[in-house]
Amino acid sequence: MDMWGIQVAEIGTFQFLRMPVRPPQTDEVLIRVAVTGLCRTDLKLIRVGHRDLLLPRVPGEEVVGEIVEKGADVRGLECGDLVYVYPGLWCGTCPACRYGAENLCRDMRIMGFHRDGGFAEYVTVPAPSLIPVPDGLDPERAVFAEPLSCCLNALELAGLKPGMSVAVWGAGPAGTLLARAARAKGAEPLNIDPDPERSRLAGGCERRSAASTSAWSPWASGRPMPKPSPASCRGVGWWSSRGCRRQTTAWS
């Protein structure tokens, strides 16, 4: 069986072409892709490459789809199930994996980098990497699971509590998601972004954002963006979430 997909064969360009569907092995399933998220990493991967990228490759590491075929050893999943695909496959034997920190596995193999991803009609994935999508959650929302989990991780690291104010540097997709997650946890987010249009859009969910940006933004004066420092701001914590690459500051 063939399908349409996007393939990167050399850095700097990609092709939209017909390609064969890879049948699932005994511990794999075949997914009919419903939605694949496009993130900055995908664009970077195509434009300048990535240390984990093996060519030729179908990119796409944020996938929601329906199981249409499964291997003989797959249990607990059925054809027709809507699932989110966790993009990483850890080794299970290295010190990090044995400690239970599989996300830090040094031999992590990632969908869209080491193996083909979701910018195609179908993708074949390991069954253990599947997370069932709850009833009533449509694919267009479920596809935010990975970036949203990065944001929630950042907020947990911050010790965020209801009533706190949170500054979010950036009002792009991840910055907006981070602000909405903060608000859902009862905090008061404030997006800071040099782009007035993005600030305006973020203002849709952050009332104070558009009005405050010009006063807050270091870009407005042409100065480089300072890093908030716990030493210079009493009660301020600063951290960076490697997952969502956002710097956020919380203070009470």
Smallest gap from Cβ 150 to Zn ion, in A, equals 20
Nearer to Zn ion, 95 or 204 (CB): 95
Please, what is the minimum distance in Å from the beta carbon of residue 50 to Zn ion? 20
Query: How would you class 227 by CB atoms within 10 Å of its CB: exposed for 0-12, middle for 13-18, buried for 19 or more?
Result: exposed
Q: Which residues of 102-138 are buried (b: 16+ CB within 10 A; e: fewer)?
A: beebeebbebbbbbbbbbbbbbbbbbebbeebeeeee
Residue among 108 and 125 whose Cβ is closer to Zn ion: 108
Q: Is-contact 246 169, C-beta < 8 A? A: yes
Residue 118 near residue 112, CB atoms below 8 Å: yes
Nearest to Zn ion of 109, 180 (CB atom): 109
Compare residues 128 and 132 and give the one whose CB is closer to Zn ion.
Answer: 128
| Region of residue 112 (phi > 0: left; psi between -120 and 50: alpha; otherwise: beta) | left
Task: Find the shortest distance in angstroms from Cβ 128 to Zn ion.
Answer: 14
CA 140, CA 145: separation in Å to the nearest integer? 10
Q: How far is the CB of 138 from Zn ion (least distance, A)?
A: 34
Q: How far is the CB of 98 from Zn ion (least distance, A)?
A: 8
Amino acid 92 reads G
Using CB under 5 A, list all residues that contact Zn ion: 90-91, 94, 97, 105
In terms of CB distance, is 3 or 94 closer to Zn ion? 94
